[in-house]
Amino acid sequence: MTATLAPGGARAETTTALHAAVDRGPAGPGLLRAFARPRWWAEFAVIGVLYAVYSLVRNSVGDVVVRAYANGRDILALEDGWGLALERGLNDWVHRTEVVSAAVALHYATLHFLVTPAVLVWLFLRRPTRYRMVSAILMITTALALIGFYWLPTAPPRLLSDEGFVDVMSQTATWGWWPASGTPGSDAISNQFAAMPSLHCAWAAWCGLVLVLLARRTWVRIAGAVYPFSTFFVVLGSGNHYLLDVVAGVLVLCVGAGVVLAAASTARERGQEAVEAPADDVPLPLAA
């Protein structure tokens, strides 16, 4: 006697069983599909957690004034030794050029707090399948920067007036709404010694890359390509960051992207293995 199963039926049952196994698996495509579907409430929760961690870091560093100023002077001395202290001449020129100082102050006090949320919202609404991975890069980058703020508190150039720097934000604050730090609110909600690495520049580079790679309109992609470099100019010219802060910010973004992409690659590989592995309970054709 011969026991047989219809080939079409066997394939259908096999496919169904494999999909069920994958969806049950801890790192299969089911997880990737869930990872790719953003939820607005989850995003608010993540932002809330990040802000809570930022506040914890800001409030737990203790009295770091002396160490922050020492670190700032060390970074500046290192740049001077290498001939890289571009912020010296740039800050002086911005300070002496009224129109430029006004534009720099306005850029610093507004775009950082508008462009990044706008790009996140655009991603959420227009590129939902890319949102989770791309926003995860921003979150990991921010977390890594917080570690830098904790371990290496650094006074920005604008606080080193004896080195010839001028606080452009303070200079223009008489007609603007920002205090010396450039934040659109009280200095109490910002960490004055969070210069290294430049999270400002890391976020700007993230925004630029997202728009260049994912936007379809040419003018949006051009704006995305220009925005990070305008931000680099602004943070240096306003006296808010050293050149090495900018470099460190971009490097932190690269590390954050590497972490997220490596995790996604591992998840995909495990998902592929789950699809290819035979399930014990899958019925197979029987032949005499």
Per residue in 28-38, pLDDT tens? 444 444 445 56
Q: Which two tokens stand for residue 37?
A: 């579907």
* Spatial distance between the Cα atoms of 72 and 68, rounded to a whole number of angstroms: 6
Q: Which two tokens stand for residue 202?
A: 């890391």
pLDDT tops 50 at residue 22? no
pLDDT tens digits, residue range 62-107?
678 899 999 999 999 999 999 999 999 999 999 999 999 999 999 9
**What does the angle CA 23 – CA 26 – CA 27 come to, to the nearest 5 degrees?**
85
pLDDT score recorded for residue 60 = 58
**Contact between 274 and 114 (Cβ < 8 Å):** no
pLDDT tops 60 at residue 210? yes
**Contact between 123 and 210 (Cβ < 8 Å):** yes
Instruction: Give the distance from CA 112 to its chain's centroid.
Output: 12
Q: Which two tokens stand for residue 67?
A: 């160490």
Residue ranges of alpha helices (H) inside the chain are 7-24, 29-36, 40-60, 65-82, 86-96, 98-126, 128-151, 168-172, 199-214, 218-237, 243-276
pLDDT score recorded for residue 15 = 44
Residue 247: partners with Cβ closer than 8 Å, 6 or more residues away: none
**Which segment, 33-47, 61-75, 198-212, is predicted with the most confidence on average?**
198-212
pLDDT score recorded for residue 244 = 97
pLDDT tops 70 at residue 229? yes
pLDDT tens digits, residue range 121-162?
999 999 988 998 999 999 999 999 989 988 999 999 999 999
* Spatial distance between the Cα atoms of 174 and 170, rounded to a whole number of angstroms: 8
pLDDT tens digits, residue range 185-197?
555 556 788 899 9
